Structure 1
Amino acid sequence: MALTRSRAAVRRRRWTAVLGATALAFAGGGALATPAGATSSSVEVQYQTRCIPPPIAGIPPIQGTTTALVSVDKSSPKVGDVVTVTYTITKPAASNPVDLALPADIMTPSGKVVLGGAQSGAVTVTGPKKNPPVPGKGSFPAFSMTGTFTVTQAGTITLSPGDYNIHTSYIMELDTPCTVLDPPAPVSDTVTASPVTSPNTRALQLETPSGAPGVRVTVNGSRFTPLTDVTVVGRAGAAETADRMTVTTDSEGSFAARLKVNDKATTGIVAYEGASWNAEKGAGPAAYTVVDDTPDPPGSQRITASVTAGELSMTQAGDAVQLSAVDFGQGGAATGSLQTVTVKDFRGGPAGWSLTGKVTDFTGPGGSLGSGNLSWTPSCTAKAGSPSTCAAGSAGPVGSGGATLASTPNGALTGGEFTVDAGLSLDVPAFTAPGSYAGVLTLTLS
């Protein structure tokens, strides 16, 4: 008889444990925690949810307010880019209803993030089987889930929290689904996707670099759009001259134009598709000099000078960055500064440039820290007299997909020398194993 009572007591203790574990699915609380990788456009939102515990728990459905935050690693992706989404439940609809404390690492969350605006659908997100111990009748900590989606449409894409499910592994395997009562939930984050831009490989070549006023110069173009009208025109510095003509490319996108150049101020020749100059659909300027054949007065000397176009290049002050240390058990931000990058745009043409960076995961004794854990705050300064203005990229995660560090726009005449810097911050979880963690940041200038 004593043995029977003992087994019954064990069953009661196990049943109480199951009751508490299933409650984890719809409990939550704690202060708002912004996940690593959250962008400045992320906002915490609240929405009504209904969570249904497994029947074995004997708990009625819970209806209440869920608080959540959705964030992305790229706020300005291009079509075709992969965007990582983080869905953090900061406060579910209820708290632990029993006095029994729940152990750590019994909860595995999953869910959906709903896309709207320019792109529809849902992003599947999952989280690790990880949670701290929860005291009886206590609030549950926030939990996060991540997933990815590929951008298929240009425009503004909204992201809203969707349904989620908690799988608990304590005594038995159980699921507790939670649904949004009035979908979609409020928008928590947005991304602005731009169309894919193909590299401009159009090229111009002149038969001769100079000629007298009124002489025709042969202009050869290649890799333009096949069977398309192209304007070929002279340039006097940044302005176009009246010396122009229109030609049609052949089936391979090439043409040969005989442009008559009269303007003695001409310094180059450009060609472009469309009604006006477009750096993405044009080529040049190809340098050209009009040799003034006006007779010089007696006793005079004609003096000429030429400016030779250079290249787009960059240099770095170093190839290694040591971030500050963080304490085991506390974690936080390991900070430092990017080695200064100097960009020199001595091409003297109409095209701007873009400097982007991407980073690998940081590997060390405890495994790896994701590439999305590294954020930067870029800055860019143009040297006095530079024709172009330099724009720093947005502060936020760098990630493996890449982010813009700095750029200059297209213009009639671009160029200059620029100093690019960035503050760096690596988010290190509190109990990351001690040791050195290293990743590789690659910068690309185009």
Structure 2
Amino acid sequence: MRTGARNRGWRAATGVAVLAAVGGGALSGPAAAVEETPPGQVEFPVHCLPPQEAGAPPADGPTTARISVDDPAPRVGDTVTVTYRVARTPAVNPLTSALPADVLTPAGRVVLGGAQSGEVTVVGPTRNEPVPAGAPLPEVTMTGTFTVTAPGAITLAPGGYTLHTGHLLDLDTVCEVTGAPVSERLTASPLPTANLRRVLLTTAYGAPGARVRVTAAGFAPGAGVTVAGRAGAAETADRAAGTADARGEFTVELPVTDRATTALVAYEGPAWSARRGSGPAPYAVVEPAAPAPRTQQVRATVEPGTLAMTQAGDAVTLGAVSYGDGGAAPGRIGTVTVKDARGGPAGWSLTGRVTDFAGPGGLRLPGGSLSWTPSCTAAPGSPSPCTPGSAGPVGPDGAVLAGTPDAPVTGGTFTVDATVELRLPAYTPPGAYTAVLTLTLS
């Protein structure tokens, strides 16, 4: 544990399963208007192999299909539902007699490309109108899901499909696809990131010219870092520059000579910003007492305290989710109490980040599947108001749990809570899934 921060781990125990493709088939719908093509509909050649028991030759011809998604702009870690609709196929009824209603079951694949590769398994329900002997098989609709693992543009193209008939005999007509065109596209956005940089001082006050040991941490290894004095929003003459080491830290003994300095900051780039800097950490230049002749001065000094936090408990247990249903496993983090007794103009920020969830047999669930809804309450008499972070994913890059703004007078005692939920796909293998949530106060 580093100065000014405390880490908390948690354990999530759930009974869940991996994503399962769930069918949502449909029969042939009303004919489209002449010359009208639905958005995303494509046509491509297929080679359909009838079951050997049918003794029929292969069927070659075009398939007309359309792929759609329920969310065209997901974020990394989201689950997207894919619908694969085959409106026309060269495959025919493999029987020499009529095929009765509700004996046709479809299954297939959707091919991912672009920022994410792989395949999505899709299935449909057992549903169809009667089909005469030798007539083309009817329209089918199949659905499935996949988890977004990378940001960027993702393409979806039709893959092969199998039409299973379960009347008299269980027969499979397998339709092979080569080089089908892209039918649908989506753009995935990355998870938001939090600024984890911080600046630490060995003392919060000193006489003019006194040296203070300053440690700037959380920066990129090898980055140029500037440590500077601040008086409100302006920088003072106190300044030092260097390079962050392999741990992302830069330490310097800074002589504070400018009597206007009230805080110290650290940052990358040409100037301090909330995105690329840390601080301000309060620092007071204390003038030495100069008693007048024949008199005595009595001076009382209020020394700044520290910024610290405590947390109730060291683990979080999420609610269980039923196998096959999936959904949200709810829970709540241990209540965090933040005490800011530093004085000066600096606010504070409490951030968190979570690792991926490790499950049975080496299975992993992305940390971006965990979301929280923060809340924060300031104790009566606290000079600073407390602002909770935004509700949303936590993820490995981190998110803000709560904080207070910079102001002429800051400090107080604050109670921070957050409800959490882990989104679990249907049919995730049963077992315990664990991750580590790290909270950092700066």
TM-score range, shorter chain: 0.5 to 0.7
Distance in 1 between residues matched to 2:396 and 2:359, nearest whole Å = 15
Tell me the amino acid that sits aligned with residue 289 of structure 2: D
**Structure 1 contact 361–370 (Cα < 8 Å) conserved:** yes
Tell me the amino acid that sits aligned with residue 191 of structure 1: S
Corresponding residue of 2:83: 89
The reply to whether residue 216 of structure 1 matches residue 209 of structure 2 is yes
Tell me the amino acid that sits aligned with residue 401 of structure 2: S
The reply to whether residue 421 of structure 1 matches residue 415 of structure 2 is no
Shift of 1:216: 1.0
Shift of 1:308: 0.9
Per-residue CA distance 1:290-317 (angstroms, 9 max, x = gap): 1462648979854332231132454348
Matches within 5 A, 1:308-347: 308-316=305-313, 319-323=316-320, 332=325, 337-346=330-339
The reply to whether residue 244 of structure 1 matches residue 232 of structure 2 is no
Shift of 1:54: 0.5
Corresponding residue of 1:260: 257
Per-residue CA distance 1:205-253 (angstroms, 9 max, x = gap): 56x9422xxx212244456887958352145xxx257742344437976
Distance in 1 between residues matched to 2:314 and 2:368, nearest whole Å = 20
**Structure 2 contact 162–175 (Cα < 8 Å) conserved:** yes
Distance in 2 between residues matched to 1:255 and 1:268, nearest whole Å = 15
Cα distance change, pair 248–112 in 1 and its aligned pair in 2 (3 A): closer
Higher RCO (C-alpha 8 Å, min separation 6)? 2
Shift of 1:61: 0.7
The reply to whether residue 353 of structure 1 matches residue 350 of structure 2 is yes
Distance in 2 between residues matched to 1:72 and 1:368, nearest whole Å = 30
Cα distance change, pair 163–350 in 1 and its aligned pair in 2 (3 A): farther
Corresponding residue of 1:176: 177
Distance in 2 between residues matched to 1:242 and 1:335, nearest whole Å = 48
Cα distance change, pair 338–388 in 1 and its aligned pair in 2 (3 A): same
Distance in 2 between residues matched to 1:127 and 1:357, nearest whole Å = 27
Corresponding residue of 2:140: 140
Per-residue CA distance 1:3-22 (angstroms, 9 max, x = gap): xxxxxxxxxxxxxxxxxxxx
Shift of 1:175: 1.3
Bigger share in helix: 1
Tell me the number of residue pairs that the alignment of Structure 1 and Structure 2 aligns: 359
SS of alignment partner, residue 156 of structure 2: strand
Distance in 2 between residues matched to 1:131 and 1:373, nearest whole Å = 31
**Structure 2 contact 67–184 (Cα < 8 Å) conserved:** no
Tell me the amino acid that sits aligned with residue 143 of structure 1: T
Matches within 5 A, 1:226-237: 230=226, 232-235=228-231
Cα distance change, pair 319–147 in 1 and its aligned pair in 2 (3 A): closer
Cα distance change, pair 150–179 in 1 and its aligned pair in 2 (3 A): same
The reply to whether residue 285 of structure 1 matches residue 278 of structure 2 is no
The reply to whether residue 392 of structure 1 matches residue 386 of structure 2 is no
Shift of 1:382: 1.5
**Structure 1 contact 343–417 (Cα < 8 Å) conserved:** yes
**Structure 2 contact 359–433 (Cα < 8 Å) conserved:** yes
Per-residue CA distance 1:327-373 (angstroms, 9 max, x = gap): x8xx535656313432344465555232234563665xxx9997369
Q: CA RMSD in A?
A: 5.0
Distance in 2 between residues matched to 1:362 and 1:127, nearest whole Å = 22
**Structure 2 contact 368–396 (Cα < 8 Å) conserved:** no
Tell me the amino acid that sits aligned with residue 307 of structure 1: P
**Structure 1 contact 234–261 (Cα < 8 Å) conserved:** no
Tell me the amino acid that sits aligned with residue 89 of structure 1: T
Corresponding residue of 1:53: 46
Distance in 1 between residues matched to 2:421 and 2:287, nearest whole Å = 52
Which consecutive unaligned segments of at least 5 residues does structure 2 have?
A: 1-22, 28-37, 50-57, 94-98, 132-137, 165-170
Q: TM-score, normalised by structure 1?
A: 0.60
Per-residue CA distance 1:165-204 (angstroms, 9 max, x = gap): 3367965865134733xx5x5644541466x889537655
The reply to whether residue 307 of structure 1 matches residue 304 of structure 2 is yes
Q: TM-score, normalised by structure 2?
A: 0.60
Distance in 1 between residues matched to 2:385 and 2:196, nearest whole Å = 23
Percent identity, aligned pairs only, is 13
Distance in 1 between residues matched to 2:364 and 2:305, nearest whole Å = 46
SS of alignment partner, residue 432 of structure 2: coil
Tell me the amino acid that sits aligned with residue 310 of structure 1: L
**Structure 1 contact 393–406 (Cα < 8 Å) conserved:** no
Distance in 1 between residues matched to 2:226 and 2:432, nearest whole Å = 50
Cα distance change, pair 337–107 in 1 and its aligned pair in 2 (3 A): closer
Shift of 1:69: 0.6
